[in-house]
């Protein structure tokens, strides 16, 4: 039997499953429906309010094989790989443990390349406030 943390097991996988954050969900759904998605989003808030979860759902909505939609299918390869944390075009960086300037430069060097499999390449930088001043300036 494989172990799966409860937070991961019960993490919402679509905007419809989100509890709370209605204003954020509404803004993102409207952007996806109108085709006017910004190039970057900054999600802020206290621990446990769903910042990373919302970012993952947005990545799934952008890369679902059925097209850009606020309701990703959850069945296609891209949706399943994002849920499993192994989608090649969703780059998740834990900035709390990768605070060096070289880590930031490596990330910036990778930005120039087109997505390998998905429609969009998504960078999810968690705990960005932990980066050093030099990393912010890189």
Identify the CATH number of the domain in which residue 70 sits: 3.40.50.300
CA-to-CA distance for 96 and 24, rounded, in angstroms?
25
In a domain, 108, yes or no: yes
In a domain, 1, yes or no: no
**Residue range of the domain that includes 13:** 6-137
Split into its structural domains, the chain has a count of 1
Q: How many CB atoms lie within 10 A of CB 32?
A: 19
Task: Going residue by residue through the chain, which has 138 residues, state the pLDDT in tens, using 9 for 90 and above.
Answer: 577 777 778 899 999 999 989 999 999 999 999 999 999 999 999 988 999 999 999 999 999 999 999 999 999 999 999 999 999 999 999 988 888 889 899 999 999 999 999 999 999 999 988 888 888 888
CA-to-CA distance for 66 and 61, rounded, in angstroms?
9
What pLDDT was estimated at residue 1? Answer: 59
Q: Which pTM value belongs to this model?
A: 0.91
The model's pLDDT over 19-55, given as tens digits with 9 standing for 90+, comes to 989 999 999 999 999 999 999 999 999 988 999 999 9
């Amino acid at each position: 039997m494989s172990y799966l943390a409860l937070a991961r097991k019960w993490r919402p996988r679509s905007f419809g499953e989100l509890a709370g954050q209605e204003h954020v969900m509404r803004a993102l759904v409207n952007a996806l429906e109108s085709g006017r998605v910004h190039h970057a989003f900054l999600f802020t808030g206290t621990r446990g309010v769903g910042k990373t979860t919302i970012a993952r759902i947005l990545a799934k909505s952008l890369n679902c094989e059925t097209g850009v939609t606020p309701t990703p299918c959850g069945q296609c390869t891209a949706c399943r790989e994002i849920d499993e944390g192994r989608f090649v075009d969703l780059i998740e960086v834990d900035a709390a443990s990768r605070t060096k300037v070289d880590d930031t430069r490596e990330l910036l060097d990778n930005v120039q390349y087109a997505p390998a499999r998905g429609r969009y390449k998504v960078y999810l930088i968690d705990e960005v406030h932990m980066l050093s001043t030099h990393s912010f300036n890189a």
